[in-house]
Structure 1
Amino acid sequence: MNLHNTPNAVRAAPEELVPSRYALKVGDIDVLVVSDGVLPLPTTMLAHNAAPADRAAWLNDMFLPQDAFDWALNVVVVRSGGQTILIDAGLGSDPNLNLPRAGQLIKRLEAAGIDLGSVTDLVLTHMHMDHIGALLVDGVKDHLRPDLRIHVAAAEVKFWEAPDFSRVSMPPGFPDALRAAAKRFTKEYLNHLRPFEQEHEVAPGVVILRTGGHTPGHSVVRLASGSDRLMFAGDAVFAVGFEHPDWFNGFEHDPEEAARVRVRLLRELAETGEMLVATHVPFPSIGRVAIDGDAFRFVPAFWDY
């Protein structure tokens, strides 16, 4: 299956006027970035350690509202060496959270002509519910392969046995929802889990590496083919993190370590020039990183159309 040529694509419904998928090549590897929708969250989640005036100034400079804004939710599908790999699985549908514009992944995969049964491997950057949720939607498991391999850091699975939320800064209800989703996911998919320690090659040129920080087992995925490189950074990088990598995101379980990881990865990306995609950088989230004084600058890729 070539992710650039999906003859079974379903015509977009009227409410799908905004593009929700974007395809590119990384050498011989096919990559498809799919939007799972947007997640409205309070702007304090961007930087709960920043002075309110500094946060307000950044939002003003970015022409964003001061109280809440829409966080992108991006998922990636990769085709390499005869394997079809889904990297993260979106939010799903938790009725208690009332987030109707998120959790779009299943219908958008269908619209792209991607059958859930064709997915051979699932890679999880971590087990927050906006990365595992679609797997918990009623009926989804029935469409997955019985031999589906789910790659996740062993430290991440261990963490969710008794998660520590003492250093996060989340809206009410989120910690309980995160615990419940991770517990249910582990129970339902235990036999599919393929834990790794620090690094694991999932398919030719597709390597998952544990970074920690955001969660103890948080990982990034690096794609390499020929001279082309791309990193899916999961939640290591947020939109505000280029200019202010030391600002703490409310979902980070170890904020100081998350900031160190963020700076290290951004420096690597700036040095290598490889492409970046991240879960919460606005769709299609494809770009490169440049050094900008003591901080960084995101350089969006030119759309190919």
Structure 2
Amino acid sequence: MKLSKTALLSALAASSVLVSTAQADDHQLGQAPGFYRMNVGDFVVTALNDGTSDMPAHRLLHWDEDKIREAMAEHFMESPVEGSINGFLVDTGEYQILIDTGMGAGVSPALGKLTTHLAAAGYSVDDIDAVYITHFHGDHVSGLVNDGKRSFPNATVYVHERDATAESAAAKYAPYQAADKFKTFADGEQIHEGIKINPTSGHTPGHSVYHVESGGQTMVVWGDTLHVAGVQFAHPEVTIQYDSDPAAARAQRLALFKTIAENEYWVAGAHIAFPGIGRMKADGDGYRWVPANYTTRVEAAQ
């Protein structure tokens, strides 16, 4: 059927609208793949973003609400604040060790992206030899499974013995236990050379911080030592409702902050704006966060 000139012009106009709309939608799909890598000595550490989630800091932090909002305003932030959920891959050249797994799929379209970003960084889920868990909370362990099956089929999962029996994480641990790929560790143990385990009980009974050490450099992968950067760097005494023992969590944070700042260690934070990597400097009664300078100079793990 031959279209009239009017009909043809109308069809072209409609198609232009559709193309424009499609292009606009494409521009709103999100950020580039969430991975960032850098060297720590001879190792390569890759930050992997699982997504972001709103956190009502003004309700969760144990502090005066006006002070919380004032502290966050210093960073041009409001509460609820959009917080990152990050995991970190340590490539030693011999092993690929993933620290924490994110929230996993099915909770929110904004979450569950860690394995997608792992692939974008050039790694397969089959490449992961070990998964170290900082603690049993859902945004750190839920990515262990996908539809009840192991997300990392060749990996052994390592959890502090005090966090290994948490009922809320049982379904995430079970497939690995059934495959004899689930191990616990106690205070003072070390599993792989180059990663020291620092048990920091407080946020959970078995909360553990991992010190990645190579070539004279140290990066502290600290799990939930901190939740709200806009408040807790300057005011590390402030605790949060998620802490199982707030007093112990406060003491662990104060001690760890002091050690990191004095030694100028790198930090990799689960809930610091992606990539969550930087250093700290003492500033009055608190600390100042210094994000890592962006780099494209990354050498292969040796």
Structure 2 length-normalised TM: 0.83
Deviation at 1:136, TM superposition (A): 2.2
2:291 corresponding residue in structure 1: 300
Aligned positions of 1:123-272 closer than 5 A: 123-138=132-147, 141=150, 144-145=153-154, 148-158=155-165, 160-161=166-167, 179=168, 182-190=169-177, 191-238=180-227, 239=229, 240-272=231-263
| Counterpart Cα distance in 2 of 1:230 and 1:269 | 9
Pair 34,58 (structure 1): closer, same or farther in 2 beyond 3 Å: same
Identity rate, percent: 30
Deviation at 1:199, TM superposition (A): 3.2
Rg (Cα) greater in structure: 2
Q: Deviations over 1:266-296 (max 9, x none)?
A: 0000111010011001111111111111111
201-210 vs 79-88, greater mean Cα deviation: 201-210
| Counterpart Cα distance in 1 of 2:282 and 2:213 | 23
Runs of at least 5 residues in structure 2 that lack an aligned partner in the other structure: 1-25, 297-302
Aligned-partner SS, 1:298: strand
Question: How many residues end up aligned between the 2 structures?
Answer: 266
1:64 corresponding residue in structure 2: 77
Aligned-partner SS, 2:86: strand
Deviation at 1:93, TM superposition (A): 2.5
Aligned partners of 1:134 and 1:140 also within 8 Å: no
Pair 193,249 (structure 1): closer, same or farther in 2 beyond 3 Å: same
1:4 corresponding residue in structure 2: none
2:7 corresponding residue in structure 1: none
| Counterpart Cα distance in 2 of 1:189 and 1:196 | 15
From 57, 82, 85, the counterpart of 2:94: 82
User: Is residue 46 of structure 2 the alignment partner of residue 32 of structure 1?
Assistant: yes
The alignment yields a C-alpha RMSD, in angstroms, of: 1.8
Aligned partners of 2:83 and 2:273 also within 8 Å: yes
Pair 288,132 (structure 1): closer, same or farther in 2 beyond 3 Å: same
Aligned partners of 1:154 and 1:196 also within 8 Å: yes
1:3 corresponding residue in structure 2: none
